[in-house]
Structure formats: structure tokens, C-alpha cells
Amino acid sequence: MTDPVTLALTAGEPGGIGPELCLQLAAEPREAGLVVVASKELLAARARLLGVTVNWHDWAPGDAPSQAAGSLSVLDIAGCHSVDAGKLDPANSAYVLETLETAARGCLKGEFDGMVTAPVHKGVINEAGIEFSGHTEFLQELCGVERVVMMLATDDLRVALVTTHLPLKDVPAAITPERLIQVARILDADLRTFFGIEQPRILVAGLNPHAGEGGHLGREELDTIEPTLERLRSEGLKLIGPLPADTLFTPHWLDQADAALAMYHDQGLPVLKYQGFGRAVNVTLGLPIVRTSVDHGTALDLAGTGKADAGSLHTAIRVGAHMARSRKNVNRGLDS
């Protein structure tokens, strides 16, 4: 029998598809106990728009989430000013961030075993005068950690990033020994803790074409990446590379690895999204909590149409539940 886990699910941007993705879960089997952290008024309004009947259960810490068909447990967050599908309203920004903070603090207090996030709209939050660069950075600051790692995953592929949302011209200078060491250690440790992999095998991409071609196409591999990988290997990390990115993502290499580590956003993620868009999950590593998210945006054009696909949300919930159970198993081992 698998461990029961409870995940907080934030509904994201009120004008986007997040609220209706949450509603879809009421009629479907669930991978874990779920508590939707959102405005109940918003959810009810979207349910009326879509002609969906949902039995609402007000959730409080210590309660078991309802698993009954047609029901959703909700931790009601007030302050949602507008509930119009497809329309952005900067006045909702503080509410959106409160749902994230409530879910994250609930995880830190042990009320939830992890959190899953529906998409938010960064632009409208910034238009409200609130500096916000994304879920990842928000949770990093809230949890008080120095470094986090973005990893996207499908059932067949995991890709983590050394750098994330940087202009391409700034990437080489950002790939320092210190950053590489932090990212690789977090990736190795969290693959062990949250995915139950005893000795993770990690493929590492070079920065330049052909991994620098022996210095003829750039020296970052020779001067920074390879010496840093050697240091990490001496600590016991199983790191393979630096490899040319155009051949790393082939079965010859991937079949013998647990994850790939790309140097920058568009080096690794186009491959993963081509392989599994709509079935992928965004995982934040390096946090003291479990956090997964969908691999798509707010899709304002689909909001309120009933056509939104919950495939990525199901994946995010399944992976979040797996991570939470894996951590419980690791903790039991430490306690025994």
C-alpha cells in the first residue's frame, strides 16, 4: 500500500485555464489527496460558466481531502477581484501571490506534502507594481535557499538547467565553477531524495558546438566545465561529459542516464518539449519542499471554453506525489 500524500494545488491566474483545470479533477481519479488553494468564488463562477457541478468541501489543516467523485477540497483565499475567463486584471496579483505563499508555508509547516502550481501570468503581476520573475524565484526567496534548479521531466526524460531565463549573450559569464557545483550537487541530491535513484547518472552538455572542439570553438569546456566536473566526480557524483548537445539527446546516451544537465534554457528544453509537450512537468529542485508545475502557460484564449487539456496537470500531480512518497521513504531510512 502506498503512502497517502496531500498536495496543495494553486489555481494560478484567475483569467486563465488554471481554475478549470482544477475543476476537471473533480470528475477524475486522483493520484493524491488534493486541496485547491484558491478563491472558492472564482472556482464556483468558472463551474457555472462551464455548466459543471462540483461539491465543495472547505478544508482546514488536519483534514483529509475529499476523494469523492464530483467533489473538491478547497482552502478558500479571499481577494480575487475579477473572475472573468480570458481577461487579465492586475488587481488580482496580490491574491495570486497569496495562494502561492499559503501553499508553500503549508508545505513548510507539514500541512501539505508538496505543492502543484497552475500557470500564472508574470506580465500582469509586474503591471500591478509587484516585481515577480516567476514561481521558481518566488519560492526560492520564500524558502530562504541560495540556489534552486529548474528541471523539466516527462516519463522518459529529465532535463535540468545550469542557467534559466538569461539573454544568450549573458550565459557564458554565468557558467562559473561555483554555479556548476551548486547545480550539480542539488540535481544529484534531489534525484536521490525525491526520485529514489541511488546513484544518479547525469549527462552534462557542453556550452559550445561540439563541446568546444578541443578549444577551437570556445574554451569554456576546457577552462571551466571539465575541471569542475572532475572535482565533482572526485566527490562521487557520476557525471558524463561535457558532451556535444546535438548528440547528447540521442538514445545512445540517454538510455544510460537518469537526467541531462543543459547549460542554458533553449539548449535542453526544446528537445524535451518536442518529446513530451502536454505531458511534461516543471520541477523545482533545491527547495525544502516538493514543488511541481505544468509545462504550459495561462492560455487565455482557451479559458472558459471547456477545451483546456489537463494532461500536464495530471503529470505534475503524479510526479509531485511520487516525489513526496520518495522523500518519506528516504526519511524513514534515515530514522531507522
The one-letter code for the residue type at 230 is E
Chain mean position to CA 296:
11
135 is an annotated ligand-binding site residue = yes
Q: Is 252 annotated as a binding residue?
A: no
Q: Dihedral through CA 120, CA 123, CA 128, CA 132, nearest 10?
A: 70
* Alpha carbon separation from 185 to 211, 233, 286 (Å, rounded): 22, 11, 9
Is 305 marked as a binding-site residue?
A: no
- Does 331 show up as a binding residue in the annotation? no
Taking the C-alpha atoms of residue 261 and residue 242, their distance in angstroms, rounded to an integer, is 10
Is residue 282 annotated as involved in ligand binding?
yes
d(CA 260, CA 183): 12
As a whole number of angstroms, the distance between CA 205 and CA 193 comes to 23
Cis link prior to 90 (omega < 30° from 0)?
no
Q: Is 291 annotated as a binding residue?
A: yes
Annotated binding-site positions: 135-136, 165, 210, 265, 273, 282, 291
Binding residues for substrate: 135-136, 273, 282, 291
What are the binding residues for a divalent metal cation? 165, 210, 265
